[in-house]
Structures are given as C-alpha cells and as structure tokens.
Amino acid sequence: MTAPVRLSDFENAIADALPEGALLDELMAKGLPHRRVEAWKWTDLKTVLSRFPAEAGEVILHASREPDAVAKLEREPSMIMPRLAAALGGDCAVYELADGETLNLDFIGSATGHRIVSVTVPAGVEAVLHESYQGGKGSFANIAVNITVAEGAKLTRVIEQNAMPNSALVVTSGLSLGPEASVEQTTLGFGAKLARLETHVLHSGEGAKLSMNGAYVLGEGLHLDQTSNVRHAGPNGETDELFKGAVAKGGRGVFQGKIHVERAAQKTDAQMQHRGLLMDAGAEIDAKPELEIYADDVICAHGNAFGAIDEDALFYMRQRGLDEASARAMLTCSFLAEPIEKMNHEGLREALLERLTDRLETL
C-alpha cells in the first residue's frame, strides 16, 4: 500500500460535492489520476488541475434535439473519471438514434463541470453522431459518453476537439458493438491545456467492424492524449486504426492504443498505426501501441513512427516557387489528411479537411 496522496484544493472541492461512499473513499485515497499511474503517465491530470480554480460550474450541452429520456445510469462505470461524471454530472441524457439521423452534441465547459450522455443505435439503423468539445478559460469538463451500436447498425461518429489553451477536458467514451455492427469514428483534435480523449470499444458480438481514425495538430502549450482500448470478445471482428498528428514546438501529443483479442475472438483482423510529425525542435509526442492476443488464428499488426518534414521535398517545392511556409503547410496537410480521407461521409469529410487546413494556416 502506498501512502494516501495529498489532495489539492481542486480535488477537495470535488470531494466535498460527493456523497459518502466508495467513490469518495477512492478519491480521498488516490486523488485524481496523475503521472505515476501507468495509464496516465503522460497526462498528469492531478497536477494540471491543481492550478485550476476550484469553482463549480457545468458542462453546457447544446444538442440538435431533446433527449429521448433522462435517466439514472443503469450500470456504474469502473474507472474514476466516468464514475465522477456519473456521480456529479446529473442524470444521463439518453438518445436513441433514428435511421438517417444526425445528432449533434456540442459540449462547452464552464468552470468545473461533469456530464454523462448515452447514445443507442438500434438494430439495423444507420446514423451519425457529431460531437464537438470546447471550453471557456479555466474550465475543466469531465464527460462520459456511452454508445451502444446494436446488431447490424451503422454509426458514423465524428469528434471535433477545438483548441482550448486555457481549459482541461477529459472525455471517456465506451462503445459496445453488437454482431455485424459497424462504427466509423474520426477525431480531429487541436488540444487543450490538458485534453484526454479516452475510448473503450468492445466487439461483443461476431463480425463487428470498427474503423477508428484521427488527426491532431498541437501548437505551443497544447496537449492532447488519445488513449484507446479495443477489446475483441467475439470472432470475425475487424479493427482498423490510423492516427496521425503534427506537433509544433511546445506542444505535446500522446497516443496510447491497445488492442486486446480474447481467446474466443478467432479470425480477428486488427490493425493499428500511429504516425507523428515533429514540426520543430521542442515538440513532443509519446506513444505506446500495444497488442494483447490470446486467440491463435488472427491477423494483427501495429506500427508507430515519428518523423520530421522531408527536407528534400521542401526544397523541391520551393525550387518550383512555393514559399517555405506554404510548402510546409502543404506537406503537413497532406500528411494529416490521410485518416480523415478514410471517411465515407463526403460532407463531413470535406468539412473536417477544411477545418484542418484552416488550423494549419493559423498555427
């Protein structure tokens, strides 16, 4: 047993809001996740938040429609951040998507707030879930998103995480994929003072398909942690992940990707790639891709690579007349576009590509 950690004013304020019980005890004993917790080693939430104002606020949610229900959560989450979101974020807004529907959920942090939403895609339904995250100065938003994609249903999930240099954000998503369900998730992230997008996916049934991709651009003072854990419990599942990021001086990207294939998940095809572009000296990217495989008849691979802008390509482009900044932006943009270009939804794809180009121009 390690000695209990010292809680900051920020943590004490959260503790004060919690009822007696296991969650409070855990918070008192361990505090918020910090860099000595393996899963958070590159994202020191405790330390960053200890410098935030301990002021209670809320996560404002602008949704494109009313929820179908507002209810207590049926099953308590297991990890501390979504547990806090469930305990302090009020009742859960529940959305059941209709065929052809696009649901927009815009989350805006103001001071310290928590939220929990749940989205269900019923069997055979095809729908789009479009989330965006932003936050006011000094805000910390802790959000949990539970998504259930039923048998044969198809979900396109798009996550836009806006640049928020003075806020912190933790989004913990859990996706459960039924048999033959298919999810195409694309994230475009620009970082925050501290941002963590943590995604847990369970292939519970047979033959589910997950395409999970993301691009990130992190300027000075911006951090983004994309942590994912994909578990194949049913056979014949497919997972295809491609994450690419470009980080400028003073920015920090974190990629922790894990794919876990259970013994029953034979014929799983799982691929995970992460590519980082260090735009200047003083940029940082930390990555930890992991495969854990207990089935013997599977195709699994992962890769991780870092690089800088190709100086030969840069010279070639300048020789043809492009100025250095444009040439760099063009090379960076073409590097980052790949995960976004995998999107099937043309309108959303073009919109994300445009946002990416705009961001690179103002970096």
Partner 1 sequence: MLEIKDLAARVETEEGDGRQILKGVTLTAPKGEVHAVMGPNGCGKSTLSYILSGRDGYEITGGGATLVGADLLDMDPEERAANGVFLSFQYPVEIPGVPTLTFVKEALNAQRRARGEDEVTAPVFMKQAREAAAKLGISNEMLKRPVNVGFSGGEKKRMEIFQALMLEPKLLILDETDSGLDIDALKVVAEGVNALRSPERSMLVITHYQRLLDYLKPDVVHVMADGKIQATGGPELAHELEREGYDKYVGAAA
Distance CA 168, CA 13 (A): 16
Site for partner 1 contains 353 (CB under 8 A): no
Size of the site for partner 1 (CB under 8 A): 22
Query: Residue 310, interface with partner 1 (CB under 8 A)?
Result: yes
Q: Does residue 333 sit in helix, strand or coil? A: helix
**Which lies closer to partner 1 via its Cβ, residue 183 or residue 331?**
331
Q: Exactly one of 20, 66, 296, 312 binds partner 1 (CB under 8 A); which one?
A: 312
Take residue 45 and report the two structure tokens written for it.
């939430």
**Using the rule CB under 8 A, is 311 a contact of partner 1?**
yes
- Rounded to the nearest 10 degrees, the angle between the axes of helix 22-30 and helix 80-88 is 130
The span from the first CA to the last CA of the chain, in angstroms, equals 46
Q: Half-sphere exposure of 294 toward its Cβ, with a 13 Å CA cutoff?
A: 11
Minimum Å gap between C-beta 336 and partner 1 is 9
316 binds partner 1, rule: CB under 8 A: yes
**Of the candidate residues 15, 337, 342, 345, the single one contacting partner 1 (CB under 8 A):** 337
Decide: helix, strand or coil at residue 45: helix
Euclidean distance between CA atoms 298 and 177, whole angstroms: 19
Of residues 105-144, those binding partner 1 (CB under 8 A): none
237 touches 212 (CB < 8 A): no
Of the residues 201, 331, 360, 363, which one makes contact with partner 1 according to CB under 8 A: 331
Check binding of 6 to partner 1 (CB under 8 A).
no
Residue 338, interface with partner 1 (CB under 8 A)? yes
List Cβ neighbours of 36 (8 Å cut-off, separation of 6 or more). none
User: If binding is defined by CB under 8 A, does position 19 make contact with partner 1?
Assistant: no
Q: How far is the CB of 84 from partner 1 (least distance, A)?
A: 41
Q: Per CB under 8 A, does 313 bind partner 1?
A: yes
Q: Are residues 14 and 27 in contact, defined by beta-carbon separation less than 8 angstroms?
A: yes
Per CB under 8 A, 320 contacts partner 1: yes
Listed ranges 87-95, 102-110, 122-130, 311-319: which one lies at the site for partner 1 (CB under 8 A): 311-319
Residue 335 is a binding residue for partner 1 (CB under 8 A): yes
Under DSSP, is residue 95 helix (H, G, I), strand (E, B) or coil? strand
Binding range to partner 1, per CB under 8 A, among 148-156, 223-231, 296-304, 331-339: 331-339
Nearest residue to 217 (alpha-carbon basis) of 337, 342, 49: 337
User: Can you give the binding site for partner 1, defined by CB under 8 A?
Assistant: 310-313, 315-324, 326, 330-331, 333-335, 337-338
